Structure 1
Amino acid sequence: MLRRSIYKSPAQLRLMVAPGLATAASLRAAKNAVRAGVTPLELDRLAEQAILELGGQSNFKLVPGYRHTICANVNEDVVHGIPGDRPLAPGDIISIDSGAIIKGWNGDSAVTVVVPDPSRPELVAEREELSRVTEQGMWRGIAQLAQAKHLNEVGAAIQEYILAQGPYGILEDYIGHGIGRSMHEEPPVFNYRVPRKGPEVKPGLVVAIEPMVTTGGIETFTREDDWTVATVDGSMSAQWEHSVAVHQGGIWVLTAEDGGAAGLAPFGITPVPIA
């Protein structure tokens, strides 16, 4: 059996723009609705509506056994959290992961939001800093991709930044991935330094870069719902993710409405639209 190439053609890259934008729209709708009293199920409905309005469908719902548009990970829940009906409380930190599929091509992205709590400013500040460090780790990984020769340089850049910010934990059991016809494809995208170089970074490579970071340990367990992964020590977690394409003109963040311009500006990198 011939192995499918991890590199997409220019025509295939163009087809990945629409699902990326639909994914971004779903996260914008959910993020804007986060407040104390709202339930993750309500966020789920808003995310799905945004995808449907752009002619897509949720690719999460195509995963066998999963019936929701988003994964909603609250506090110590790290990844794959099933959105439920418990209202968000002041001070909660929630990561929202979403994806869309249009014409057989996929997008995948995640954001983290902290629910305001004026009565506990120190707690909110600590959780917002966790989110900021995770997001900036992701952008450093994306910036490294723009100049890397091999993919695993991305993980080294993410790890170097995050560990320099404080005693954070970077999950090792859950990493980024290639994306295209399937939501999860080769190659793996590590969020930490590994000894091998990984595949060559060249036009056609499309990857989802998604660091998951905790305020404590990195050991996890799966809850009784067989989906939700949580930290063993109860430490808080954050996840940020973007799907990014490398093409002849440079890089383009498919799941950012501005192509990644704002996030990459501090690194002197200007993303180039896919022609």
Structure 2
Amino acid sequence: MIEISRENPLLFFGCGNMGRAMLDGWIAGGIDPAAFVVVDPAAQSLPANVAHFSGAAELGRKVSTALTAVKPQIFAQIAGHLESVLTDDALVLSVMAGVRVETLQAKLPGRAVVRLMPNLAAALGKSPLGLFEASDDASLQADVEKLLYPLGIAVWISDETLMDAVTALAGSGPAFVYRFIDALAKAGEAIGLDPSVAATLAKAMIDGAVDLAIGSDASPDELAQRVTSPGGTTAAGLAVLDSGLQRLLNDTLKAARDRGVELSKPD
């Protein structure tokens, strides 16, 4: 069982936007802020009672659970600092896109390693959590799911090469959704709406549509059909949107996935 507490804290090795979203999600889920330690020279305005150090050498102790959330491009250069503060049997969760388990195990020998791809909705407890670990250890997976429960929904991936696809869809996906919301609002402006009205309508519409999709047994395609009357306004709009949307999204996710593959290759 993975238990984190003031005496046995979870170490954030790097705490940028993604790390901070996870930290906020755990604290919102009821975990004591004192159960977390952050090592990140750039971290600012952390929650009260979260211990903060600029470097691993300042920590003065070893930890048995760590989350590494540094930029994947620099991990190889600073992995030794993380390794120096891990117990021999530590669990390491990695949210670094493209960094393979094999690489992590080579830099952090003997430790259990789980790759994790969340998104910023972890702060609200609503993130998809793509997960992979090489040993297929059911007990470890159950413990990790319990630890991550306050952050969202865990989905285990059986083939590590698919983590790049998970990253493209679940990790990068929110940015694509935000772009779509922004584009909808600007399209509303283009047909005469005040910018603030268009933005409010776009965000409220997305919020309601997503809630309905999550709560419905019908597929998104079926729900779209329910909104669409033959020869009506929705049908006219879909005739334009459907002419290139799927191709555009295929290309978008492929580009994000391929970048993850590139990040996994040694320099």
Query: Shorter-normalised TM-score: what interval?
Result: under 0.3
TM-score normalised by length of structure 2: 0.27
Higher strand share: 1
Asked which structure has the greater RCO (Cα within 8 Å, sep 6+), the reply is: 1
Higher helix share: 2
TM-score normalised by length of structure 1: 0.27
